[in-house]
Amino acid sequence: MGDIHKKSDRKSIQGTLDRLYFLKKSAPAFLFWILLVLYFICNLIISVSASSGASIMIGGKSLPFYTFAGVFSSISNVCILVVAVYYGKQGFVAALTVLLIQLPIVTMSVVMGHNLTSLPGVCLNIMTVGIVILIYRNNKKIDDYQESLRAQAVTDMLTGLPNWFATTELIEELIKKKIPFAAVTIDMNGFKVINDTMGFDVGNEVLIEAARRWKAVAEGGASGTLDFVSRLSGDEFTLIIREFESDEDILNSIRMYEAALKDQMDNIGYDFFLSASFGYAVFPYDCGTMDELISYSGLAMQEVKKEASSEHIRKFTKDLLKKENTLEMESRIKNALEHDSVFYMLQPQYDMDHKLRGFEALARMKGEDGKFISPADFIPVAEKAGLIDKVDSAVFRKAASFVGDLIRETGSDVMLSLNVSVKHLMKKDFLVEISNLIASSGIPANQLELEITESIMIESVEKAMNCINEIRKMGVKIAIDDFGTGYSSLSYLNNFPAHLLKIDKSFIDKMNSSDSSKQYVAAIISLGHVMGFNVISEGVEEDSQIETLKNIGCDFIQGYIWGRPLSPEDAGKLVKAG
Ligand code: C2E
Ligand code: CA
Ligand code: CA
């Protein structure tokens, strides 16, 4: 929805309006009256002193009072000019009235009283009238200009509808006053085709016609609700619906706008039909802020476009957010793969005597804000989006190269365990990838282990078995990951060519809380041993769990108690220290 440019638009228009309003707001009303009163006092002093012959003493000299007439006359003129400049039409009328009342009086005193000393006063009076008229005309020009700027700031020039700025003003107002309303995002269907095939002029005509019809619906009150329709940009419009009783009312209103488009657009010289997609969200039920409202109604509208069904109206629902998050995550993964920024950590695995067995490589990704994104969030999305093989491979390449070097350097016998998604394993060039990995990293095949979840036993069993057997032939070890969480058949397990069984953390968590849970873990371990597997317990966090696992014959441990996932450097130090 072009949120960013709209936000900055909003700010700049708001700034412009504030500046334009500044002049008007700054002149307080009480000053208007003070200036007029001051004006009359000055004139009173002038006329009284002129005829009284009074004088005042300054520096031992007696000065007749009328010598100060010029000073008071200037003050009175300044007062009247300030009124004319700062008080718009009211100031103009007041100043002109006062001056025009005064003019005949002063003129009379010149003509009747043959008092030529008042002649400059008459001239000044006439000049002031002229100046006041000039000021008024100038102010009016500025006012008209301001008015048209303000109108432009809130109007869409093409259609004459209110624009985005006006819409945000209204939404903010409604939110502030907690008035319920529905925000509907509208987007024309196939508008690009009209523009591309018939040209912009026809496109514009279509927008103007649609706006005319919608305006008629909104202003005619035919929808039964209080509506406000505006154009955002291009072929995007917004509808704000108020005074509804139910969701049904909102829907009925929107249907009126949908129906308004149905008539053929032949009055603009072309005979085609137009339709639009409508998505809406309701304040305060769906969301509480303007940004949410706009983004949610936009999401609902996009969903209409995607579904391409005959229903053109969609209400926002929470599951749309999940979809949106998935899409966002997908693009983050793609971005990380493109920039080769998927990385890994190494979590140590130990035998029961706390001797290092090896490391499991765990994929890691960082968001744009630098924060870690949990693999529990991005791995499932990568699986669905068909990107998991690329994520796996990035970890394979980097971790194997690091551990390969480490083994060459130290002669250590540590294992490297890599997680493989079933989807990845099923790819036809998987075997080639593994043999290339061994060759390029120099890691001994028997120090490499692939962790596969037990779901492999259900999906395409035969193909998977062949592949796993080939991998075994290369000397690579196989671990069954998350054992016990999925559907695993004993008969499959019996034939499964694995070396290691990984008991899922959920069983280890429960193990010490009840005797039956402990017996269950003990049974898995014995079963694993009977089938010829070693057994490792995942997610071990407490000493008491280690004790129990020792007693029931577990072979290995992986868990925070003895080691969290480490950076490759720290894992290297651990190997060298051992
Ligand atoms: P997993 O394969 O079962 O990996 C073990 C997870 O348990 C890791 O979480 C690890 O950090 C966590 N863990 C280990 N010990 C403890 C503990 O004592 N307490 C707790 N609370 N957690 C512990 P992580 O790294 O978040 O990985 C989550 C899952 O993401 C993995 O589960 C695995 O299924 C998947 N994954 C990670 N890396 C890859 C990869 O490169 N490829 C594929 N296909 N999947 C991966
Ligand atoms: Ca694993
Ligand atoms: Ca696991």
435-473 per-position pLDDT tens digit: 999 999 999 999 999 999 877 776 667 778 889 999 999
Domains 164-316 and 327-577 share a fold: no
**Ligand 1 neighbour 362 (Cβ under 6 A):** yes
Q: What is the pTM of this model?
A: 0.61
CB 43 within 8 A of CB 76: yes
Residue 2 has pLDDT above 50, yes or no: no
Using CA atoms, how far residue 197 sits from 42, 194, 333, 471, in Å, is 75, 5, 37, 57
**Ligand 1 neighbour 40 (Cβ under 6 A):** no
- Ligand 1 atom closest to residue 504's alpha carbon, by position in its atom list: 3
**Ligand 1 neighbour 449 (Cβ under 6 A):** no
Across the range 473-487, mean pLDDT stands at 88
Confidence band of 306 (pLDDT split at 50, 70, 90): confident
- pLDDT above 70 coverage of the chain, percent: 92
Q: Which helix (H) or strand (E) holds 255?
A: helix 247-262
**Cα 349 to ligand 1 centre (Å):** 13
Beta-carbon contacts of 178 under 8 Å, excluding residues fewer than 6 positions away, are 284
**Ligand 1 neighbour 539 (Cβ under 6 A):** yes
Q: Which helix (H) or strand (E) holds 362?
A: strand 356-366
Rounded Cα distance, 162 and 165, in Å:
8
CB 493 within 8 A of CB 531: yes
CB 330 within 8 A of CB 387: yes
Which of 359, 379, 452, 503 has the most ligand 1 atoms within 8 A of CB, as the residue to mutate?
A: 379
- Ligand 1 atom closest to residue 558's alpha carbon, by position in its atom list: 15
**Ligand 1 neighbour 421 (Cβ under 6 A):** yes
**Cα 567 to ligand 1 centre (Å):** 15
**pLDDT at residue number 442:** 96
Strands 313-315 and 556-558: unpaired
Which of 342, 350, 362, 538 has the most ligand 1 atoms within 8 A of CB, as the residue to mutate?
A: 362
- Ligand 1 atom closest to residue 421's alpha carbon, by position in its atom list: 44
Across the range 183-199, mean pLDDT stands at 91
**Cα 362 to ligand 1 centre (Å):** 6
- Tell me which of 81-90, 148-157, 168-177, 420-429 is least confident: 148-157
**pLDDT at residue number 8:** 43
pLDDT, greater one: 34 or 6: 34
Helix (H, G, I), strand (E, B) or coil at 244: coil
Q: Distance between terminal CA atoms of the chain?
A: 57
User: Measuring CA to CA, which residue among 484, 485, 564, 552 is closest to residue 512?
Assistant: 552
Atom 12, ligand 1: residue with shortest CA distance: 539
Which CATH class, in words, describes the domain spanning 327-577? Answer: alpha beta
Residue 385 has pLDDT above 60, yes or no: yes
**pLDDT at residue number 6:** 38
The pLDDT tens digits for 393-421 are 999 999 999 999 999 999 999 999 999 99
User: Measuring CA to CA, which residue among 575, 570, 545, 566 is closest to residue 352?
Assistant: 545
**Ligand 1 neighbour 560 (Cβ under 6 A):** yes
Rounded Cα distance, 480 and 485, in Å:
11
- In sign, the C-alpha dihedral spanning 97, 102, 105, 110 is negative
Structural fold of domain 164-316: Alpha-Beta Plaits (3.30.70)
Beta-carbon contacts of 127 under 8 Å, excluding residues fewer than 6 positions away, are none
- Ligand 1 atom closest to residue 396's alpha carbon, by position in its atom list: 41
Helix (H, G, I), strand (E, B) or coil at 419: strand
Atom 46, ligand 1: residue with shortest CA distance: 419
Rounded Cα distance, 280 and 240, in Å:
9
Confidence band of 259 (pLDDT split at 50, 70, 90): very high
The pair of structure tokens assigned to 96 is 């002109």
Across the range 498-526, mean pLDDT stands at 93
Using CA atoms, how far residue 284 sits from 173, 223, 303, 383, in Å, is 13, 21, 21, 36
Residue 14 has pLDDT above 60, yes or no: no
- Tell me which of 15-24, 396-405, 424-433, 435-444 is least confident: 15-24
CB 503 within 8 A of CB 519: no
pLDDT, greater one: 270 or 444: 444
Residue 324 has pLDDT above 90, yes or no: no
Domain coordinates in residue numbering, the chain: 13-153, 164-316, 327-577
**Cα 565 to ligand 2 centre (Å):** 12
CB-based neighbours (< 5 A) of ligand 3, an ion: 481-482, 538
User: E strands along 398-555, which residues?
Assistant: 415-419, 448-453, 477-483, 500-503, 534-538
**Ligand 1 neighbour 559 (Cβ under 6 A):** yes
Across the range 327-356, mean pLDDT stands at 95
Rounded Cα distance, 387 and 41, in Å:
88
Mean pLDDT estimate for the chain: 88
**Cα 361 to ligand 1 centre (Å):** 9
- Tell me which of 71-85, 267-281, 388-402 is least confident: 267-281
The pLDDT tens digits for 117-162 are 678 778 888 999 999 999 999 988 988 888 888 778 889 999 999 9
Residue 25 has pLDDT above 60, yes or no: no
Confidence band of 488 (pLDDT split at 50, 70, 90): low
